[in-house]
C-alpha cells in the first residue's frame, strides 16, 4: 500500500505548512525574467533553508482552490529507510486556471531537508523534458503545458541522518489570462503548498517546533517603532491609489519610496512589489506582459560605448519594460583577457550547444572550430581557394577545424568576445556579484547545472582578478589563437 498525502491549501495555511514557489513555464526558463514567469533565479521553498518564504511571495492572493498531493513508493508510513531509492509522484488537483489560455503552464518545486536545514539525500529527474534540478541539485522543479502530475526519484541519505522533511509547492498558472498571446506572469495564479515529515527507520519522531514569527524589521525600518508597519501601510496605500496613472519612471520612484520602510515579512527583499527577480530601479511590475530577450553587448573598435538589440518575445508593441540598449562598458584590460581569461572560457563555455551560438545567450563566444563571426575574410591559402576573393567566415568556418574554421581569431572576434564578457560588470561593484562568476561557480546561481569551478579555484580567482581591473602589462602573444 502506498502512502498518500493530500491537504487543501486552506488547511495547509492553517497548519503552517509552507513550501515552494514559483511560476514556471518550462524548467529551462528558470532563469527567465520575472515578467516572463520564470522567477529570475529567485525561488522560495518554505523550508528553514529558504527563510520559510513560500510561493505567495510572488503569486499574490491565490484563491487556494487547488490541492498538492504526494504519493510515495515503496510505501513510507511516516519513516524512510537509509539508502533506499523512492519514487515520488506529485499531483496538482482541482486545476481551474489557464484552461482557456494559449499557454496553460503549471509547475512544482520540491526539496528534502533534514532538521538542520541541510539538503538530505539525492534528487533525480528521469524526465528531463519536464523536470530539472536547480540550486546545484538541492531542489527539483517541473512544469509543463496542460501538465498537472510529475514523478521523480529520491535516494535517502545514509544511516544516522535523522528525520527529514519534504517541502512541496505547486502553482496553477493562469497563462496571464490571455487566449491570444502565449505568455505568463506572476499575477492571478493559484497556489498549494504542503510538507511530508519522514522519520529515520521508524515513525514517531517529533515534528519541528513552529518557528517564531518573522521579524518585520528590515533595512530602513526603525527598530524603535518610529515607522510602524501599520502606519507605513497607510502611506503606501495612499501612494498606490494613483499608481496605475503614473508613468514607468514615476511608478519606480513611488515603489522606491514605499519599499524603504517596513514591508510585510512574507515578502522578501528579492521580490519588491511581489515580483520575484524584479529590481527597484527597473521594476517591471506584475502587470507587465512584455518578455524581452537581448543580444550580447557590442562596441565598435577602439570604443567602450556599446549597444545591443532587445526583442519582445510576446511582440506586444509596447516598451514599458524594455531593458537599456546602450551603455559604457567597464574599461577592463583586453590583453589580460586574451592571454588569461579567453582560454578558460574557450575550454568551458564555447561549445556550440552552450555559449558558442548567436542566439539566446547574452554571453557569446567565437571559437576556432566552433562558432565564427559573421564577416568577410580572405580564405586560407592552403585550401585551394582563390586567395583574392573573400569568403564568409561564419558560413565557411563554423563547426569545422578545416581551413577557415581553424584560422586565428580576427580582431573583430577578439573585440566581440571581450565586450560580451566585460559587459557582465555593468552595474556591479564587487566581481563576486558578476553573473560570470555566480553562475559558473559551485554553489552559485542556476546555470543548467554547469559548474566550472569552486570559488577558491585558480580559474575563478583569475577571472575575478580581471573583473577587478587586473592588467597584463604587455601585449598578449596569442599565436594561432
* Interval 55-101: pLDDT, tens: 887 787 889 999 999 999 999 999 999 999 999 999 999 999 999 88
Instruction: Decide: 435 and 349 in contact? Cβ < 8 Å.
Output: no
Residue 315: what pLDDT?
Answer: 84
Q: Where do the domains of the chain lie? A: 3-200, 334-467
**Consecutive H or E run containing 206:** none
Residue 42: what pLDDT?
Answer: 63
CATH superfamily of 3-200: Reeler domain (2.60.40.4060)
Q: How would residue 269 be classed by pLDDT, with cut points 50, 70 and 90?
A: low
Residue 257 has pLDDT above 70, yes or no: no
Residue bearing the bigger pLDDT, 143 or 455: 143
Sign of the torsion formed by the C-alpha atoms of 429, 435, 440 and 442: positive
**Pairing assessment for the beta strands 190-200 and 79-80 based on DSSP bridges:** parallel
* Helices 229-240 and 248-258, packing angle to 10 deg: 170
Nearest to 445 by CA among 169, 230, 134: 134
Cα(466)–Cα(139) distance, integer angstroms: 32
Nearest to 414 by CA among 353, 331, 478, 322: 478
Classify the phi-psi angles of 63: left when phi > 0, otherwise alpha if psi is within -120 to 50, otherwise beta: alpha
Q: pTM, whole model, 2 decimals? A: 0.51
The proportion of the chain whose per-residue pLDDT surpasses 90, expressed as a percent, equals 39
What are 416's three cell numbers? 566581440
Cα(303)–Cα(446) distance, integer angstroms: 33
Cite the beta strand spans of 201-297 per DSSP E: 292-294
Mean per-residue pLDDT over the chain, rounded? 76
Among 107-116, 235-244, 448-457, 472-481, the range with the most confident prediction by mean pLDDT is 107-116
Nearest to 119 by CA among 129, 111, 131, 127: 111
Residue 203: what pLDDT?
Answer: 93
pLDDT in tens, 367-417: 999 999 999 999 988 887 788 899 999 999 999 889 999 999 999 999 999
Angle at CA of residue 431, ends 427 and 435, nearest 5°: 70
Residue 112 has pLDDT above 50, yes or no: yes
Amino acid at each position: 500500500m502506498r502512502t498518500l498525502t493530500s491537504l487543501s491549501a486552506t488547511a495547509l495555511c492553517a497548519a503552517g505548512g509552507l513550501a515552494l514557489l514559483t511560476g514556471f513555464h518550462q524548467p529551462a526558463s528558470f532563469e527567465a525574467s520575472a515578467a516572463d514567469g520564470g522567477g529570475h533565479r529567485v525561488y522560495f521553498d518554505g523550508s528553514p533553508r529558504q527563510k520559510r518564504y513560500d510561493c505567495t511571495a510572488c503569486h499574490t492572493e491565490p484563491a487556494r482552490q487547488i490541492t498538492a498531493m504526494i504519493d510515495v513508493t515503496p510505501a513510507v508510513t511516516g519513516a524512510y529507510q537509509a539508502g533506499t531509492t523512492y519514487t515520488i509522484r506529485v499531483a496538482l488537483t482541482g486545476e481551474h486556471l489557464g484552461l482557456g489560455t494559449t499557454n496553460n503552464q503549471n509547475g512544482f518545486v520540491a526539496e528534502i531537508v533534514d532538521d538542520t536545514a541541510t539538503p538530505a539525500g539525492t534528487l533525480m529527474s528521469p524526465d528531463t523534458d519536464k523536470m530539472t534540478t536547480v540550486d546545484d541539485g538541492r531542489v527539483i522543479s517541473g512544469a509543463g503545458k496542460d501538465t498537472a502530475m510529475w514523478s521523480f526519484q529520491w535516494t535517502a541519505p545514509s544511516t544516522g541522518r535523522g528525520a527529514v522533511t519534504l517541502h512541496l509547492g505547486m502553482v496553477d498558472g493562469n497563462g496571464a489570462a490571455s487566449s491570444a498571446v502565449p505568455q505568463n506572469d506572476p499575477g492571478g495564479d493559484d497556489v498549494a503548498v504542503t510538507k511530508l515529515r519522514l522519520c529515520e527507520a521508524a515513525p514517531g519522531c517529533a515534528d519541528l517546533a513552529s518557528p517564531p514569527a518573522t521579524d518585520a524589521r528590515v533595512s530602513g525600518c526603525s527598530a524603535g517603532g518610529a515607522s510602524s508597519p501599520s502606519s507605513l501601510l497607510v502611506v503606501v496605500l495612499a501612494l498606490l491609489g494613483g499608481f496605475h496613472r503614473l508613468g514607468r519612471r514615476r511608478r519606480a520612484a513611488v515603489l522606491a519610496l514605499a519599499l524603504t520602510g517596513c514591508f510585510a515579512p512574507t515578502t522578501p527583499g528579492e521580490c519588491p512589489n511581489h515580483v520575484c527577480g524584479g529590481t527597484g530601479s527597473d521594476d517591471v511590475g506584475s502587470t507587465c506582459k512584455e518578455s524581452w530577450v537581448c543580444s550580447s553587448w557590442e562596441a565598435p573598435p577602439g570604443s567602450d560605448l556599446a549597444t545591443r538589440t532587445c526583442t519582445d518575445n510576446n511582440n506586444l508593441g509596447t516598451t514599458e519594460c524594455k531593458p537599456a540598449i546602450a551603455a559604457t562598458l567597464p574599461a577592463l584590460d583586453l590583453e589580460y583577457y586574451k592571454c588569461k581569461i579567453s582560454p578558460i572560457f574557450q575550454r568551458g563555455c564555447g561549445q556550440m550547444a552552450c555559449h558558442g551560438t548567436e542566439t539566446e545567450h547574452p554571453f557569446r563566444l567565437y571559437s576556432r572550430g566552433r562558432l565564427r563571426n559573421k564577416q568577410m575574410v580572405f580564405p586560407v591559402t592552403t585550401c585551394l581557394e582563390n586567395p583574392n576573393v573573400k569568403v564568409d567566415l561564419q558560413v565557411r568556418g563554423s563547426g569545422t577545424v578545416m581551413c577557415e574554421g581553424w584560422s586565428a581569431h580576427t580582431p573583430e572576434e577578439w573585440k566581440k568576445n571581450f565586450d560580451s564578457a566585460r559587459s557582465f560588470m555593468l552595474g556591479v561593484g564587487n566581481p563576486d556579484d558578476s553573473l560570470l562568476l555566480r553562475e559558473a561557480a559551485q554553489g552559485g546561481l542556476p546555470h543548467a547545472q554547469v559548474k566550472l569551478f569552486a570559488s577558491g579555484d585558480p580559474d575563478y580567482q583569475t577571472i575575478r582578478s580581471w573583473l577587478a581591473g587586473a592588467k597584463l602589462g604587455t601585449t598578449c602573444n596569442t599565436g594561432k589563437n
